[in-house]
Amino acid sequence: MTAQSAADALREAMIGRGGPEATGWTGSFELSPPPRAGATVAVLGAGIAGLTAAYELGRLGYRCTVLEASDRAGGRNRTARGGDVLRELGPGGDPVVTHRCSFDEGLYLNLGPGRIPHHHRRMLDYCRSFGVDLEPYIMETTANVIHLADGAVVRWRNRQVANDIRGHLAAMLAETLLRRDAPTGKLLDLLRVFGSLADDHSYDGSTRSGYAEDPDVHDFPRPAPPIPLSDLLESGFWRHSFYQPVDYLWQATMFQPVGGMDRIVAAFEREIVGRFGDVVELNSAVTAIRLLDEGGVAVEYRRDGRPRTLTADYCVSSIPLPVLRGIPTNFSPEFDAAISTVGFANTCKVGWQAGERFWESDADQIYGGISWTNHPITQIWYPSNDYFSETGTVTGAYNFDDVAAKFGDLAPLERLAQARAGAAELHPRFADEGVVPTAKGITVAWQKVPYQLGGWADWNPANPDHMRAYKQLLQPEGDGRFYVLGDQSSPLPGWQEGAMMSAHYVIGQIQGVIPRTVPEPVRVPDSVALTQGSR
């Protein structure tokens, strides 16, 4: 790929298209050397965006220093393991310990990103290059459960809902086809197969939805009785992410790193140290950012309790916007306004260690995938690894928006109690303290995590203020000296691919092969659709 074609692809990926259709380019960097040998870059934040930028800029000859406010790299790429300490901001605004994870050796749970779509080619390319082993992540199985407790309580299998609604709708459509010409005959035959209809194009159930009874040697298994169409419509099942796996971002095949999502962070750290030395400084909280009159940027920060200053030719910042807006700067009013315009989404997770994998039992037979509920826990993720082993971890809640705000306002033990109660409505074994001990449960409210303050930028394409802010953040401040990085300034908020895409884009701008001024129009990403699916 030539420098110009790389620039064209980068620019097209960032501002020409939005959403998942912009994720196909892997980004081979064949760019010119830096404009000045040994040019320096202050990289703020050691999340995926910051690590990607430091690695690629270092390969181009820039001298990078990465300042990370917390005691670990990875940002929202956080995998909890036994011995880890989790902190959130307490009522007084200071960090407090919420959990000391006590998972057994070898068990883990991804508190942030948990899956990689097959079309996130940048991420897959880095995993391949860095030797990060991947395994399938199961987004959906037909044994997963949808549980709704408004009015009549329902607990249906995915396969029942999916196939019975198809059967009912196909039968209804077939009744409307009065003509009997050849094209109509083909359509009727399509509906027969699509909905598993009888020869008279009626629907009275299908083995696609499961069996009424387990088969034996005497009788061919009969289909389970169909869920009445009126019950399906009354439930409103489609409002609870039932069709999320059909959306492009969650379509099979998806992947996860073997051993936890933080294997990707560890691989970046290994590669950066091996090539460039110890350029990542942990426990280094930025306290001010100044564009210097004589050129360059000065970053003030605290490390080991002492104030320090890092001066560099360029500064690229993946500091989350809610955190960045609280740091003193001398940016232009337009840039300050852009930083302050968009909020970050509320989102929480709960993780449990279970003494037995009861979801894999004869009763449920669930091996991976997600069950959905209108309880505040919203969803349960079953592990896609270590099937048939004795113990396992399970994501017992993953929620958003107002539900997550209320859930996050609970004390950690209250969150666990609510999550246990919600999960027990789907699987009674969750209620057994001996099987799912509270002591081995953990929670995180990302809106309260220090130096994060939310899950992802909550962009709304219908908001004209967001249009102006998004465009502004795609352009550097201070004559090309300060750049915003991360999924927060990408077409894929909430996804690691977006963080990498942003890093590649900013590098192209620094190198001068991507224009620093963004033309109209700019499509603002729809954060809700890109993180929760279509509604």
What DSSP letter does each residue of 455-468 carry, written as one string?
Answer: SSB---TT-HHHHH
Mean pLDDT on 496-508: 97
First-to-last CA distance in the chain? 39
Is the CB of residue 55 less than 8 Å from the CB of residue 416? no
Instruction: Convert 226-241 to b/e letters by CB count within 10 Å (16 or more is b).
Output: bbebeebeebebeebb
CA 284 to chain centre: 26
Percentage above 70 pLDDT, the chain: 93
What is the pLDDT at residue 498?
A: 98
Beta carbons within 8 Å of 346's beta carbon, 6+ residues apart: 400, 401, 402, 404, 405, 408, 445, 446, 447, 454, 455
Encoding tokens for residue 5?
Answer: 């074609």
> CA dihedral in degrees (252, 263, 405, 91; nearest 10)?
180
Is the CB of residue 379 less than 8 Å from the CB of residue 241? yes
Identify which has the larger pLDDT, 129 or 33.
129
213-222, 238-247, 508-517: lowest mean pLDDT where? 213-222
Give me the domains of the chain, ranges plus CATH numbers: 3-73+262-342+456-532 (3.50.50.60), 79-111+346-448 (3.90.660.10), 158-235 (1.20.1440.240)
What is the pLDDT at residue 212?
A: 85
pLDDT over 80 (residue 2): no
Is the CB of residue 326 less than 8 Å from the CB of residue 342? no
What is the pLDDT at residue 215?
A: 78
Percentage above 90 pLDDT, the chain: 87
What is the pLDDT at residue 445?
A: 98
CA angle 121, 484, 481 (to 5 degrees): 120
The mean pLDDT value of the chain amounts to 93
What DSSP letter does each residue of 122-167 carry, written as one string?
Answer: HHHHHHHHHT--EEEE----TT-EEEE-SSS-EEEEHHHHHHHHHH
Encoding tokens for residue 161?
Answer: 């809902």
What DSSP letter does each residue of 299-313 carry, written as one string?
Answer: EEEEETTEEEEEEES
CA 157 to chain centre: 25
pLDDT in tens, 328-380: 999 999 999 999 999 999 999 999 999 999 999 999 999 999 999 999 999 99
Mean pLDDT on 91-111: 97
pLDDT over 90 (residue 16): no
Encoding tokens for residue 32?
Answer: 């010119």
Beta carbons within 8 Å of 409's beta carbon, 6+ residues apart: none
pLDDT in tens, 50-92: 999 999 999 999 999 999 999 999 999 999 999 999 999 999 9
What is the pLDDT at residue 34?
A: 66
Of 267, 256, 488, residue with least CA distance to 395:
256
Of 532, 524, 90, 69, residue with least CA distance to 320:
69
Instruction: Convert 413-437 to b/e letters by CB count within 10 Å (16 or more is b).
Output: eebbebbbebbebbbebbebeeebe
What is the pLDDT at residue 36?
A: 67
Place of tokens 């549980």: 147
Encoding tokens for residue 475?
Answer: 């352009």
pLDDT in tens, 182-229: 999 999 999 999 999 999 999 999 999 999 887 776 677 888 899 999
Encoding tokens for residue 510?
Answer: 């620094």
Of 240, 170, 255, 237, residue with least CA distance to 206:
170
* Residue 501 pLDDT class (50, 70, 90 cuts): very high
Helix H or strand E segment including 288: strand 284-291
pLDDT in tens, 267-319: 999 999 999 999 999 999 999 999 999 999 999 999 988 999 999 999 999 99
Q: Which parts of 401-526 are beta strand (E)?
A: 441-445, 482-484
What is the pLDDT at residue 4?
A: 46
Q: Which long-range contacts (CB under 8 A, 24 or more apart) does 307-313 make?
A: 308/284, 310/42, 310/65, 310/67, 311/40, 312/40, 312/41, 312/42, 312/65, 313/36, 313/39, 313/40, 313/41, 313/481
User: pTM of the prediction?
Assistant: 0.93
What DSSP letter does each residue of 198-231 carry, written as one string?
Answer: -TTS-----GGG-BSS---SSSPPPBPPPPPHHH
